[in-house]
Structure 1
Amino acid sequence: MTEPIHPSQSAPCPDGPGRIPGRQAKKTPLEQMGGTTGLVYTTLPIVAFVLANASFGLTAAVGTAVGIALAISVLRLVRKEPLHPALSGLFGVAVAAFVSWKTGSAKGFFLTGIWANFALGVLFLLSVLARRPLAGIVWGALNGTGIAWLKDKPSRHYYDIATLTLVGVFATRVAVQQWLYDEDRTGWLAVARIAMGYPLLALAFLVVLWAGRRSGKRLKALAGQQPAGSV
């Protein structure tokens, strides 16, 4: 006689052994930021600008960078990838190219990036001083966990560390790239922009991930200690 199948003995989840149905595996830091494809998309306009400037001059470099950024946006649209990263990338390249053309200098292409990192560094630092670390606020928004952690002092400290790590990333970028800018090292500016982009951000993201997990465990433990029926 065939024994009836108990609900707990149901067939394995199609998502794979050990996985909860409908739940996706957590993405790596690189995947969270667009994966290797996103890295290539970000790098191509920069490399194209430097090469075109060295071979054909500033005007050609500006046109080439914007043209490649536009082509990447169209490609992402055709491939039905998220539109927002494509448009923001195109806008960023267009603004950088405009500044470069307006200043009449190839190194001007990297000026907006330096300004942006400076502004972000100041903003994230102020958020720590205001006891509202932005790393935690952004992490909560992305993961739907909200800002309940703000009421827990240790959780706030975790996110303080994560936010200050990001401040360090922004400050390092500004220090190195501003020095290269002042020295008129356009080629090295491109190298620094690429090398200090995703790699440094991925390292900082690991700290944010650590803070999020530590905070999550604490809040879960605290919730379990509350008496049943308490609000």
Structure 2
Amino acid sequence: MTGTSETVRIVLLEDDAPLRERFAGILDAWGGGELVAACATLEQALTALDQHPVDLLMADLNLPDGHGIEAIRRLRQRHPDADAMVISVLADDETVLAAIEAGAVGYLLKDADSIELVEAIEELRAGRSPISSSIARILVRRMNKPADDATGPGLTPREMDILRGIAKGFTYTELAEWLGISRQTVPVHIKNIYRKLAANNRSEAVYEASKRGLLRL
């Protein structure tokens, strides 16, 4: 932890009320931290990050009004010296890597007990990265994967669907309706597409995808 405060100022983001209360209770009982805000939505967390000094964000990812990765990105903008730790049931490769690329330095699954949770915070304060064993296996597997060829990192089936919609000129709302997904998840997929294609906007993404043979225009 690079913050200067001895007491760790924490923003907790968890939409499940019983889990939020459980985590808040663990943090309240731990003498090393101060729970600045316990948030149920992405909007609440973004407001807390804008209004309070923060040393640690503990974030769920799957939220009713968006994705926890957006809170991690806001933390990086507002509090560049703070740490972000994910606590989630999501453990697929793309989600884990996206969270880490956004700035998360720890990743625990929600089965963590009170001792593990406090130990994870202490590890963060000591400059280490607490990661559940199953998450570590994902990272090791990805590190051992052969380097991408000239076509670059592959897109998931959902990302390919959205890419086709982008090529058709669909808006975020139209993409969500077309694919039957939440509108809030569309920007997350699009940012992943841009990252994988090294693109900065829709036109570049479509051009790069066409050049790589991913789209037939």
Q: TM-score by structure 2 length? A: 0.26
Which of 1 and 2 has higher RCO (CA within 8 Å, sep 6+)?
Answer: 1
> Between Structure 1 and Structure 2, which shows a larger proportion of strand residues?
2
Q: TM-score by structure 1 length? A: 0.25
